[in-house]
Amino acid sequence: MELIDGKKIADDIKKEIAIEVEKMVAEGKKRPHLAAVLVGHDGGSETYVAHKVKACEQCGFTSTLIRFEDDVTEEKLLETIDELNKNTDIDGFIVQLPLPKHISEQKIIEAIDYRKDVDGFHPINVGRMSIGLPCFLSATPAGIIELLRRYNIPTKGANCVVLGRSNIVGKPVATLMMQKGYPGDATVTVCHSATKNLKEICAQADIIIAALGSPGFVTEDMVKPGAVIIDVGTTRVPDVTRKSGFRLSGDVDFENVAPKCSYITPVPGGVGPMTIVSLMKNTLLAGQHVIY
């Protein structure tokens, strides 16, 4: 069993990006500039945004954080997006989700100029990804694909089971895994809450991508010896032994599943760091203006 070290791969990629950025600067170009809009003080969101800002520094990007209180109006947020769309100094930006309930996330996402949509959530980027056109790939699916690539994990003709059909992980990663080329060309099955024979389906999988948000869901009996396991789950589970009061738990019963696998991602330190690094790659693309 080999542990897939998302942290190390993410650090490698950040260094590669930093070299690219210094090249750009040496050529007289500006540093890519990422703006992040953060509404309220949700603990998870604060942490994610802080990680993103730090990653920007590591990559040599300029970053700007724009904060609003929980009671910001949708109108005000749309105004800010309009300004960011027009601001030529900003290459890409994200609006950290979730947003307060009085704001339509979909409306906000669709208001972002797709050429600056480095989260890849705008329908036009989702559609382009599905068709196989140049676009900003959504961060988590792109991070998963990159892990498979960096570990040279064979995917052609592999039975790949995706657990979960969310718009931000399950559906897009399924699309990427079935696309022509490498990593891709897999036979992909998407399972979800309505799936009946889930254990049997998993037990036939060469690759399982678990994105359910259900701690420890994938157990040892569901995994074929030698399978590759990508664990996308990051659920906060109460843990009194931790200073924070919680720990992050994946969708996989790691302790019992790991010994059976050929490759497995840990939680944390697997897919998580790759998600942020995918955002950095998109920001680099945005700074290079190659998606239009």
> Strand, helix or coil at 272?
helix
- Indicate the residue type of 283: T
Nearer to its own copies, 10 or 209 (CB): 209
Query: Interacting stretch for its own copies, rule CB under 8 A, among 1-9, 70-78, 168-176, 273-281?
Result: 168-176
Binding to its own copies in span 191-230, by CB under 8 A: 191-192, 194-197, 201
96 as an active site residue: the answer is yes
Compute the distance between CA of residue 272 and CA of residue 149 in angstroms, rounded to an integer: 16
Please state the φ and ψ torsions of residue 237, each to the nearest 5 degrees: -115, 130
Least separation in angstroms between residue 181's CB and its own copies is 10
Marked catalytic residue, from 5, 91, 117, 119 = 119
Query: Interacting stretch for its own copies, rule CB under 8 A, among 45-53, 88-96, 143-151, 183-191?
Result: 183-191
Nearer to its own copies, 188 or 284 (CB): 188
Nearer to its own copies, 38 or 186 (CB): 186
Compute the distance between CA of residue 279 and CA of residue 274 in angstroms, rounded to an integer: 9
Residue bearing tokens 């600056």: 116
119 as an active site residue: the answer is yes
From 156, 199, 242, 289, residue interacting with its own copies (rule: CB under 8 A): 156
From 167, 219, 244, 288, residue interacting with its own copies (rule: CB under 8 A): 167
Give the residues across from 114 on adjacent strands. none
Binding to its own copies in span 90-149, by CB under 8 A: 106, 122-133
> Strand, helix or coil at 27?
coil
Tell me which residue of 75, 55, 61, 214 sits closest to 139, measured CA to CA: 55
Tell me which residue of 210, 284, 239 sits closest to 25, measured CA to CA: 284
Marked catalytic residue, from 5, 14, 91, 96 = 96
Binding to its own copies in span 231-290, by CB under 8 A: none
From 147, 190, 261, 280, residue interacting with its own copies (rule: CB under 8 A): 190
Least separation in angstroms between residue 186's CB and its own copies is 8
Instruction: Report the alpha-carbon angle 64-69-70, nearest 5.
Output: 125
Reported residue count of the chain is 292
Residues with Cβ < 8 Å from 43, sequence gap 6 or more? none
Task: Give helix then strand counts, H and E, for the chain.
Answer: 10, 11
Q: Are 219 and 253 in contact (CB under 8 A)?
A: yes
Compute the distance between CA of residue 166 and CA of residue 100 in angstroms, rounded to an integer: 20
Marked catalytic residue, from 5, 14, 52, 251 = 52
Nearer to its own copies, 6 or 172 (CB): 172
**How many residues sit close enough to its own copies to count as binding (CB under 8 A)?**
37
Active site amino acids = 52, 96, 119
What residues line the site for its own copies (CB under 8 A)?
A: 106, 122-133, 156-157, 159, 165, 167, 171-172, 174-175, 178-179, 185-192, 194-197, 201
